[in-house]
Amino acid sequence: MQLFTPDFSSARVLVVGDLMLDRYWHGQTGRISPEAPVPVVHIKDHEGRPGGAGNVALNIVALGGNATLLSLVGKDEAADSLRLQLNEAGVQCEFEEVEGSDTITKLRVMSRNQQLIRLDFEDGFEDYDHAHLLSRFDHCLRDCDAVVFSDYGKGCLDEIRAMISRARAAGKQVLVDPKGTDFSRYTGATLITPNESEFAAVVGWWQDDTELVERAHNLRTACELDALLVTRSERGMALIQSDQELHIPTLAQEVYDVTGAGDTVIGTLAASLAAGETIEDATRLANLAAGIVVAKLGTATLSAEELNRAVLGEAVEETGILSVHALQKQIQTARARGEKVVMTNGCFDILHAGHVQYLEQARSLGDKLIVAVNSDDSVERLKGPERPINPLEQRMAVLSGLGSVDWVVPFGKDSVDDTPAELIKELLPDILVKGGDYKAEDVAGGEAVILNGGEVIILGFLDGCSTTNIVRRIRTTEENQGS
C-alpha cells in the first residue's frame, strides 16, 4: 500500500493532560563531598523543556499541525517558562492556574551524560474543582478535529470519562496515551496506545502473537474502543481493530534514546487522523516517526520534512491504470522527489504510430506522464454510435504497456462532460499537453493548470495517422473484397 505524508496544516488537535517542566542541570564532578558520601557537581549549564502533554503538543506543531494544550499548572515561574517555550513553538496554551499548587517539575542533575539524581516537585491537584477544566474543555472542543489525552496520573485527567464522552458526542476522534492498570476509565475512546509493558500489566503476558491479539480484542471490546495500538519497541506495533489486525515491524535503524517516543507516536497519530488519514495509514506514519526520533538524543520531535523523507524511502512506485485517489498519492510522491508531471488526454481508440510519437514527445517534457482516457460513453458521444472500436479497459491496457506512459486514468464515465477539465483540476499537472490546432487558453483544464503555476503546451500530430483513417481503410478493403 502506498503511503504519503498528509497536509498537516489542516490538522487541529486538542491535547489535554499532565504537563510538566523537565529541567536539566549539567556540570562536572571531580570530588566527593566532605559532608556526605555524594559527588559534588559544579553546575555549568541548565535547560528546561516541556514534558508530558507539552511534548505531545510540540510533536504536533513540529509536523506543521495546529495544537491547543489544556492542562493544570501552578501560578509560578515554571508555568511562565512552559508557556513561553510552547507559545514560541506555535502551541496555543490554555492553562488552568491552580492557586496553592506547584507546576509539576522534574529536575535532573547530569554529569558526563549520566543522571546523578532526579528531584520531583509535585503536590498534585487534589483540591482542584475540575468543573472549571471541563468548562474550558468544552470551549476548546469546538475548534479541533481530534483530542489527545496524555495521562501521567498527576491529576489533570481525573474527569477523563466525562471528557471522552463529550468529545465523542461532538464527533471528535479521541486518542489516549494511558497510565496505570484501570483502562476502564478510557471507555469509549477511539484509540488507546499502551506500550507492551503497560498492556501486559492490564491483561497479563502472552505466549505468542495469537494470544496477544486475543487479549487485545477482549480489552478493546470491554472498553468499547474502536482500536487498540500496542507499541512493542524493537518488535514494532500491533494495531487491533474489530475486523482486522495490523502488525508493523519497527523501522528504527539505530536506537540512541527512547525518551519521548510515545509522545511522538500519539502526536503523529492524532495529526494524521485530523488531516484525514485512515487509522491504518496514520499508524504506519507514526511507526516511521518513532523510528526517526529514537535515533536522536533526548526528548525529541521531528519535522514533516523528516517524515516525508522516511515516507519516500519506503515508497513503492505504482504504474499503470490507477484510480484518481491512488494517482494523487503517486503525484505527491513524484513531486517530493523533484519530478515534473505531464498530462494529456484522448480517446486512443486504435493506437497507431501517431499516438506513439505524440506520447513520446509529451513524456520528454517531464519525468512522469499521465494519460487520461475517455470512457466508452464519452467516445460514442464524440465519435458516433459505432465507436469506440475497442472498449475502455482494452484501450487503457494498451496505453499502460507503452514505455512512455507512467499512469493511465479514465474519465467521463459518470458525467456528460466529455472533457477532462474536472479531472485536471483535481490532479493539477505541471504541464498539460494537447495535440492539434489549439490555443493554450482553449484547452480544457488549461486555465486551472496555468493558475497553479503550470503551463499548457500544444504538440502536432503525425501526418496521415488517425483512427478515423484506419477505420475508413478497413471498411474500404472489406467492401472491395466483398465486391
Is residue 404 within 8 A of residue 362, CB to CB? The reply is yes
Compute the distance between CA of residue 99 and CA of residue 73 in angstroms, rounded to an integer: 9
Q: How far is CA 213 from the centre of its chain?
A: 25
Kindly give the pairing relationship between strand 227-231 and strand 237-241: antiparallel
C-beta separation of 315 from 332 below 8 A: no
**124 residue type, one letter:** G
In the block, residue with C-alpha cell 482516457: 373
Of 22, 151, 158, 263, the catalytic one is 263
What secondary structure does DSSP assign to 130-196, as a single string?
HHHHHHHHHHHHTT-SEEEEE--SSSTTTTHHHHHHHHHHTT-EEEEE--SS-GGGGTT-SEE--BH
CA distance 237 to 249: 7
> Angle between the 261-274 and 279-293 helix axes, to the nearest 10 degrees?
150
141, 147 contact by CB (below 8 A): yes
Q: How far apart are CA 133 and CA 159, in angstroms?
A: 9
- Give the Cα-Cα-Cα angle 455, 459, 465 (nearest 5 degrees): 155
Residue 261 near residue 290 (C-beta atoms within 8 A):
yes
Other beta carbons within 10 Å of 395: 26
Residue 129 a catalytic site member = no
DSSP state of 438: -
Sheet hosting strand 105-111, strand order edge to edge: 39-52, 19-32, 105-111, 114-121
Q: Which of 245, 250, 70, 237 is nearest to 143 (CA)?
A: 70
Closest by CA to 141, choosing from 4, 13, 23, is 13
Strand partners, 28: 42
User: Around Cβ 11, how many Cβ atoms within 10 Å?
Assistant: 25
Q: Please spell the DSSP secondary structure of 259-306, one letter per residue.
A: TTHHHHHHHHHHHHHHTT--HHHHHHHHHHHHHHHTTSSSS----HHH
Dist CA 60 CA 145 (whole Å)? 13
Active site residues: 263
